[in-house]
């Protein structure tokens, strides 16, 4: 049993705060997970805990220690200083960043996100990809960072389960295309989603979703095998990016 | 041309600030719309502007005056004090709350929201309802307020176009049911969405979406003609409420 940390200027807190930005996470090779539920999700996905802060000893702190994490008890104030949420739950833990996925063309269903910058949208899309049975997501360099706190909150653990790979999309998609994947792009000038050419049951698909503001970039658009558009029947001009991605993922995997 | 307002303690600003809460909006019978795009949307839906604050004279301020609004010029500081967004656009306007809709059983497609409390989710769902061609939404008393700034930002103008009615859902749905509407409820113990009984082309449908935390209430669930569940193929336990609503709205209106 160690002494409770009380000073929020403690160097440990400063180390945690450096993880609030993408660069700090990359430099440290680590990211912060807040709350028991999310920490349990990370452990169930075999992620490696390095250290943790907790208001009290509990089964979770025992489990974290058993996995080699340095667990410190701390006051509420320290936890509030360390966490991104305003009213954090009683525990947070720093995990090693998982190795980047290498998504191959053998996966039957991939997602490619071309500049999805809103963290809530990115997290929600990864959560839906998990639910819809997609095998992974390619992310262009302009996408929000997968390990940002807001992305994690929206993803509800799916960032731990859906492999992601940051890469230059035009090159990655061109390579997938030569290996027989069909590139389906969501585009305002696309075919009505429900009148598109039907894919064969064994087709390997890559669904491309563009940025909230600018859609899919020209370079990526040129690689499209099929462009589709969700019909707008009322007077709304467009859908939220995460909602559109959800409708498309479930429609493309719909049993016939 | 009137003098520019400069003091953010100006009584007009205080009046606008009272519109930041649901009660203030109800008492005043008015709500605030921020930014030129959204104000134009409100005008195109024939909403009545009462007064406005603008950093400068422009075509929009002329149009607002022509419709009888009291338009005052103001400094950036006044606008920041009045608006909900941190970096407001150069104009905001107070509109009269539209009369509550009376949604009838003749509408072919209605939405019923049973305690959707997150303003972003509510706004996003109304935006999708607009796009998918739904005729209106019944909202239980626990739902977020349609005219809250965050709801409006997520709805992108669809709050002006999709009629909404706050009401006790069990009574409203029971009445719609006796008039021949089929009540489709999203539920964790529902039938696989893609294996549900097919609706006849002329069926009038009410799609019920539950709260983020607790789903659909028991009283409403008992009125379901069909319960459906979006299949979870991966390890995610559930979908974001707005994404689930989007998938269901488009699936139920899918051409066959």
pLDDT at B105: 75
pLDDT at A9: 66
In the predicted model, is pLDDT for residue B25 greater than 60?
A: yes
Contact B132 A234 (CB under 8 A): yes
Residues A71 and A135 in one domain: no
pLDDT at B245: 98
Instruction: Answer with the one of A67, A96, A125 that is the final residue of a domain.
Output: A96
A241-252 and A119-132 helices, crossing angle to 10°? 10
Instruction: Answer with the one of B96, B125, B146 that is the final residue of a domain.
Output: B96
Q: Are A241 and A209 in contact (CB under 8 A)?
A: yes
Residues B157 and B70 in one domain: no
B:153-172 residues touching chain A, CB 8 A cutoff: 154, 156-158, 161-162
Measured between alpha carbons, how far is A22 from B191 in angstroms, rounded to an integer?
42
A233 touches B: beta carbon within 8 Å = yes
Residues A118 and A211 in one domain: yes
Residues A117 and A230 in one domain: yes
pLDDT at B168: 97
Residue B207 structural domain: 109-252
Q: What is the pLDDT along chain A (256 residues), one digit of tens a residue?
A: 557 887 666 788 888 889 999 999 999 999 999 999 999 999 999 999 999 999 999 999 999 999 999 999 999 988 888 888 888 889 999 999 998 878 877 889 999 999 999 999 999 999 999 999 999 999 999 999 999 999 999 999 999 999 999 999 999 999 999 999 999 999 989 999 999 887 777 889 999 999 999 999 999 999 999 999 999 998 899 999 999 999 999 999 998 7
For the full predicted model, state whether its pTM sits above 0.95.
no
Residue B43 distance to chain A (closest CA, Å): 14
* CATH (domain of B193): 3.40.1280.10
In a domain, A101, yes or no: no
In a domain, B196, yes or no: yes
| Collapsed DSSP state (helix, strand, coil) of residue A193 | helix
In a domain, A84, yes or no: yes
Number of domains in chain B: 2
Provide DSSP, B201-253. TT--EEEEEEBTTTBS-HHHHTT-SEEEE----SS-----HHHHHHHHHHHHT
Residues A244 and A121 in one domain: yes
Instruction: Answer with the one of A33, A68, A96 that is the final residue of a domain.
Output: A96
In a domain, B1, yes or no: no
pLDDT at B132: 97
Residues A113 and A185 in one domain: yes
| Reported confidence tier of residue B8, pLDDT bands at 50, 70, 90 | low
Give the position of tokens 């709260």: B211
Backbone Cα Rg of chain B: 20
Residues B240 and B138 in one domain: yes
- Cβ partners under 8 Å of residue A197, min gap 6: A226
Residues B117 and B244 in one domain: yes
| pLDDT tens track for B95-109 | 999 988 788 778 899
B118 touches A: beta carbon within 8 Å = no
pLDDT at B141: 97
Residues A56 and A133 in one domain: no
Residues B69 and B121 in one domain: no
B243 touches A: beta carbon within 8 Å = yes
| Collapsed DSSP state (helix, strand, coil) of residue A95 | strand
Predicted ipTM beyond 0.90: yes
**A124: nearest CB among B127, B243, B253:** B243
In a domain, B6, yes or no: no
In a domain, A136, yes or no: yes
| pLDDT tens track for B175-213 | 999 999 999 999 989 999 999 887 777 889 999 999 999
Residues A65 and A126 in one domain: no
In a domain, A125, yes or no: yes
| Reported confidence tier of residue B12, pLDDT bands at 50, 70, 90 | confident
pLDDT at A2: 59
A37 touches B: beta carbon within 8 Å = no
| Collapsed DSSP state (helix, strand, coil) of residue B130 | helix
* CATH (domain of B88): 3.30.1330.30
Residues A92 and A156 in one domain: no
* CB burial of residue A6 (10 Å; 0-12, 13-18, 19+): exposed
């Amino acid at each position: 049993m160690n002494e409770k940390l009380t000073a929020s200027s403690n160097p440990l807190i400063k180390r945690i705060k450096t993880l609030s930005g993408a660069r700090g996470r990359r430099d440290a090779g680590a990211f912060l997970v807040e709350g028991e539920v999310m920490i349990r999700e990370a452990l169930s996905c075999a992620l490696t805990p390095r250290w943790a802060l907790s208001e009290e000893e509990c089964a979770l702190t025992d489990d974290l220690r058993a996995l080699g994490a340095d667990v410190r008890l701390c006051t509420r104030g320290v936890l509030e200083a360390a966490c991104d949420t305003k009213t954090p739950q009683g525990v947070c833990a720093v995990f090693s960043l998982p190795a980047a996925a290498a998504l191959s063309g053998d996966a039957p269903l991939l997602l490619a996100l071309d500049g999805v910058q809103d963290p809530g949208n990115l997290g929600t899309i990864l959560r839906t990809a998990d639910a819809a049975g997609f095998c992974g997501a390619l992310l262009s360099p302009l996408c929000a960072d997968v390990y940002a706190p807001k992305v994690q909150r929206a993803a509800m653990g799916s960032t731990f389960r859906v492999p992601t790979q940051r890469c230059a999309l035009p090159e990655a998609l061109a390579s997938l295309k030569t290996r027989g994947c069909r590139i389906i792009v969501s585009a305002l000038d696309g075919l009505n989603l429900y009148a598109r050419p039907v894919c064969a049951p064994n087709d390997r698909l890559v669904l491309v979703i563009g940025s909230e503001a600018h859609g899919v970039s020209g370079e990526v658009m040129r690689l499209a095998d099929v462009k589709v558009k969700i019909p707008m029947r009322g007077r709304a001009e467009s859908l939220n990016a995460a909602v559109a991605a959800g409708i498309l993922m479930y429609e493309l995997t719909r049993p016939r």
